[in-house]
Structure 1
Amino acid sequence: MRMMSSYDLMETFRNTNQWMGASAKALASYPALSMVPHPAVQWMAAWGEVTERSFKRMVAKPDWGIRTYTHEDGKDHLVEIDTVLERDFGNLIHFRVVGRPVQPRRVLLVAPMSGHYATLLRSTVKSLIVNCEVYITDWHNARDIPVSAGKFDVEDYTLYLVDFMRELGPDTHVIAVCQPAPLTLAATAYLAEADPAAQPRSLTLIGGPVDPDATPTDVTDFGRRVTMGQLEQSMIQRVGFKYKGVGRAVYPGLLQLASFMSMNAERHTTAFNEQILRAARGEAGDHDAHNRFYDEYLAVMDMTAEFYLSTVERIFKNREIARNAFVVEGKPVDIGKIDSVAVMTVEGAKDDISAPGQCIAALGLCTGLADSKKASHLEPGAGHYGIFAGKSWRDNIRPLVLNFIDANSGKPATRKAANKNAA
């Protein structure tokens, strides 16, 4: 109950700030105040507008906002989001372009479960939907999942990926972004032994902590400094009475957001102050740069406690993937069993979350894979976000990934063509 009370207290704080913003905005728009135009009234309205929007976004899942696509035929085609597989903790969805011929490239994007929704990869999806059939893992907010659905840890996550790959079949190319990279590698190895015919054609790992110790960062140092007991005591709470997952142990999204914001508190404070001034001058808009960024950044989701704790303990502390010692349901997963799936790693030279060296470690683990099936790329000057959604992704990395996919679109057993973009 203590942890449920603290969860409800955080939600009460958020809700109160949203109400205060809405109240200030409403009060400032009172008709009688128009007779006395005063800068303080304009500032109060602007403060209320920005505050209400910000705190409201924290509990709202962003919309994908991908409704139409202009095909090379010059026509606008509707984009329908179909649910291919529905599970308690996450769905497999497909962005289907209505009226367009099915594209030969079938891509599965594995989205992170690290505090934000899969919509964080919206721009990645938009860039790939141009000439690919795009599928993505749409993870659910743990606060909305009843306790009766059971647990969800790194092993369950891996098995979800196995099911998704099996559903899409062997003509699939998997792209894992950030946090899921090591678990996607493990899922591919699991299939290599348990169901070789269901393996994807290629696997691209982008900025993921396959070996967190390869190049330490603040993230990996934090995982080393704290004990599991300290993490459980300070980070884990139980969902309060407002949501369907009441009683479920989670790492709350609001707590994660507080950590994110504190890391760059001065920058965020300046951004919000400037937005209030823009709103007061009538220069702010629903789709301006500030709102586009923070509508996504502030929208956070809870992770199950067992997923968060097992990620820290098994991926970061014990380095089970890096040591090729990962176990799923009591069965060892040997990454060396991957012998036909082409594997590519992408890293950003200025990535301060998954620094260069952490992701490329995957290639060394694939001891059963021919060198001709391995590739790597280090993007100069790119940070973490840029390697999957920024200019570096659009101009350099996306073409490399698509070339890698095309070079490995034959049958898995074929080992003839070398990857020209291998580093």
Structure 2
Amino acid sequence: MAAWGEVTERSFQRMVVKPDWGIESITGEDGRDHLITVEPIVSRPFGDLIHFDVAGRDPMDRRVLLVAPMSGHYATLLRSTVKSLLPDCDVYVTDWHNARDIPVSEGKFDVEDYTLYLADFMRALGPDTHVIAVCQPAPLTLAAAAYLAEQDPDAQPRSLTLIGGPIDPEANATDVTDFGRRVTMGQLEETMIQQVGFKYPGVGRKVYPGLLQLTSFMSMNAERHATAFSDQIGRVARGEASDRDPHNKFYDEYLAVMDMPAEFYLSTVKRIFKDCEIARNDFSVEGRKIDIGKITKIAVKTVEGGKDDISAPGQCVAALDLLTGLPADKKASYVEPNAGHYGIFAGRSWRENIRPLVLDFIDANSEAPAERKRTKPRAKHANKNAAA
């Protein structure tokens, strides 16, 4: 009973607090430890562009913007992804805010606002940037790149890597897409949307609670999660568990959830999943249609997991067909056969297989790359379409 209480208490504690990044230093090529400072570059009401500044390190060739999902978890869900990129890249991340803490006076935030935020972040970093979008933001990142290609071509990033995102949700159905198809918008608004209480700065704001999203995620693999917690209770009872054992490392982050603005959640379901506006190249921002075919210079690579049960294979690679103005040698794709959704941006599949391919792709599409700050030789065939 004591072990059950300990595991349960830890789980509920994680649901109400934003985790720290916990990345204090890295070892550089010079063999010295370099301290990490997380600093905001662009601050906005609904999210910041943050930079992982590595003290005492020479400027890096690879400047990477990692677009974190706004799907119920904090950007720290990508902690291991950030740690794996820091030795080789200058890393920037979109750090989305918990909607319960944003005053109503800041207004709405929907998929169009999200797209404009991404365009502004890319603009702030300049054209010598390589963007990596993980899961949910993939379609809107593609739209933001197309927006810049037409409105501000000098601010376009050099490459765009889309990892496990629902570009075309109907390309290969999953429980997520089936849910979006069978539930009406009225039902969603009635059953999923709540109002922030007086305890938080965002009092009165309508949100989609992170706990509801967590419940949805866990219900997709309920038996696996139940077994994991049952086994952990046994380990605690036997004295075999530790503060940072594999179970706690995973669930400390997985259980940390944040609320999303109601209009963002509802417009995502309506416009991305139900109406498939990105898949049909019929997405607009502030009344202006965005044509993905206008992308003619940004190299684009898609990455999918063969066992992804959230964004199944076929959903993300659909982006390449929309890029009608992009030469074939600027398109690439890759499927990691045995990886699930989490594995394609964290874990062994990312570290050993996907990350090296992404770095090769970045190098192959960099302007006059300097070799001195590269840990691997520049790949000659990184822009290869390896889709099944």
Do structure 1's residue 338 and structure 2's residue 301 form an aligned pair? Answer: no
Question: Cα deviation per residue 1:199-245 (whole Å; 9 max; x = unaligned)?
Answer: 00000101100011111111111110011001111111111111111
Q: Is the 8 A contact 1:372 1:419 kept in 2?
A: no
- For 1:50, the equivalent position in structure 2 comes to 7
Query: Which has the larger Rg?
Result: 1
Q: Is the 8 A contact 1:372 1:418 kept in 2?
A: no
What is the rounded CA distance, in whole Å, between the counterparts of 2:381 and 2:360 in structure 1?
12
| Equivalent position to 1:88, from 35, 38, 45 | 45
Shift of 1:380: 1.3
- For 1:21, the equivalent position in structure 2 comes to none
Which letter maps to 2:43? E
- For 1:189, the equivalent position in structure 2 comes to 146
Q: Unpaired segments of 5 or more residues in structure 1?
A: 1-42, 412-416
Do structure 1's residue 307 and structure 2's residue 264 form an aligned pair? Answer: yes
What is the rounded CA distance, in whole Å, between the counterparts of 1:352 and 1:47 in structure 2?
30
Do structure 1's residue 421 and structure 2's residue 365 form an aligned pair? Answer: no
Do structure 1's residue 169 and structure 2's residue 132 form an aligned pair? Answer: no
Q: Is the 8 A contact 1:182 1:208 kept in 2?
A: yes
What is the rounded CA distance, in whole Å, between the counterparts of 2:214 and 2:161 in structure 1?
28
| Equivalent position to 1:64, from 8, 11, 21 | 21
Alignment CA distance shift 1:375-1:420 (3 Å): closer
What is the rounded CA distance, in whole Å, between the counterparts of 2:75 and 2:358 in structure 1?
20
Alignment of 1:209-220 (within 5 A): 209-220=166-177
Shift of 1:403: 0.8
What is the rounded CA distance, in whole Å, between the counterparts of 1:261 and 1:215 in structure 2?
21
| Equivalent position to 2:277, from 311, 320, 328 | 320
Shift of 1:420: 4.5
- For 1:30, the equivalent position in structure 2 comes to none
Q: Unpaired segments of 5 or more residues in structure 2?
A: 369-379
| Equivalent position to 1:139, from 96, 99, 103 | 96
Work out the percentage of aligned pairs sharing the same amino acid: 76
Q: Is the 8 A contact 1:404 1:421 kept in 2?
A: no
Shift of 1:418: 6.9
- For 2:66, the equivalent position in structure 1 comes to 109
Q: Is the 8 A contact 1:374 1:419 kept in 2?
A: no
Which letter maps to 1:86? S
Question: Cα deviation per residue 1:32-63 (whole Å; 9 max; x = unaligned)?
Answer: xxxxxxxxxxx42x233222211111011111
What is the rounded CA distance, in whole Å, between the counterparts of 1:232 and 1:185 in structure 2?
27
Alignment of 1:169-248 (within 5 A): 169-248=126-205
What is the rounded CA distance, in whole Å, between the counterparts of 2:223 and 2:172 in structure 1?
27
Aligned length: 375
- For 2:82, the equivalent position in structure 1 comes to 125
Q: Is the 8 A contact 2:61 2:89 kept in 1?
A: yes
- For 2:376, the equivalent position in structure 1 comes to none
Q: Is the 8 A contact 1:186 1:321 kept in 2?
A: yes
Shift of 1:75: 1.0
Do structure 1's residue 284 and structure 2's residue 241 form an aligned pair? Answer: yes
> What secondary structure, in the 3-state scheme, does the structure 2 residue paired with 1:389 have?
coil
Which letter maps to 1:261? M
What is the rounded CA distance, in whole Å, between the counterparts of 2:131 and 2:14 in structure 1?
30
What is the rounded CA distance, in whole Å, between the counterparts of 1:293 and 1:356 in structure 2?
24
> What secondary structure, in the 3-state scheme, does the structure 1 residue paired with 2:171 have?
coil
> What secondary structure, in the 3-state scheme, does the structure 1 residue paired with 2:131 have?
strand
Question: Cα deviation per residue 1:292-318 (whole Å; 9 max; x = unaligned)?
Answer: 111011100101110000000000110
What is the rounded CA distance, in whole Å, between the counterparts of 2:201 and 2:271 in structure 1?
29
- For 1:395, the equivalent position in structure 2 comes to 352
> Which moved further from structure 2: 65-74 or 160-169?
65-74
> What secondary structure, in the 3-state scheme, does the structure 2 residue paired with 1:287 have?
coil
Which letter maps to 2:78? L
Question: Cα deviation per residue 1:155-183 (whole Å; 9 max; x = unaligned)?
Answer: 00000000000000000000001010000
Alignment of 1:21-60 (within 5 A): 43-44=1-2, 46-60=3-17
Higher helix share: 1
> Which moved further from structure 2: 61-70 or 261-270?
261-270
- For 1:158, the equivalent position in structure 2 comes to 115
| Equivalent position to 1:97, from 54, 70, 88 | 54
Shift of 1:136: 0.5
What is the rounded CA distance, in whole Å, between the counterparts of 2:220 and 2:314 in structure 1?
24
Do structure 1's residue 386 and structure 2's residue 349 form an aligned pair? Answer: no
What is the rounded CA distance, in whole Å, between the counterparts of 2:174 and 2:231 in structure 1?
31
- For 1:407, the equivalent position in structure 2 comes to 364
Q: Is the 8 A contact 1:181 1:208 kept in 2?
A: yes
What is the rounded CA distance, in whole Å, between the counterparts of 1:397 and 1:280 in structure 2?
38
Q: Is the 8 A contact 2:50 2:93 kept in 1?
A: yes
Q: Is the 8 A contact 2:24 2:35 kept in 1?
A: yes
Q: Is the 8 A contact 1:62 1:299 kept in 2?
A: yes
What is the rounded CA distance, in whole Å, between the counterparts of 1:259 and 1:204 in structure 2?
27
- For 2:231, the equivalent position in structure 1 comes to 274
Shift of 1:366: 0.7
- Normalised TM-score (structure 1): 0.87
> What secondary structure, in the 3-state scheme, does the structure 2 residue paired with 1:101 have?
coil
- For 1:261, the equivalent position in structure 2 comes to 218
What is the rounded CA distance, in whole Å, between the counterparts of 1:75 and 1:323 in structure 2?
50
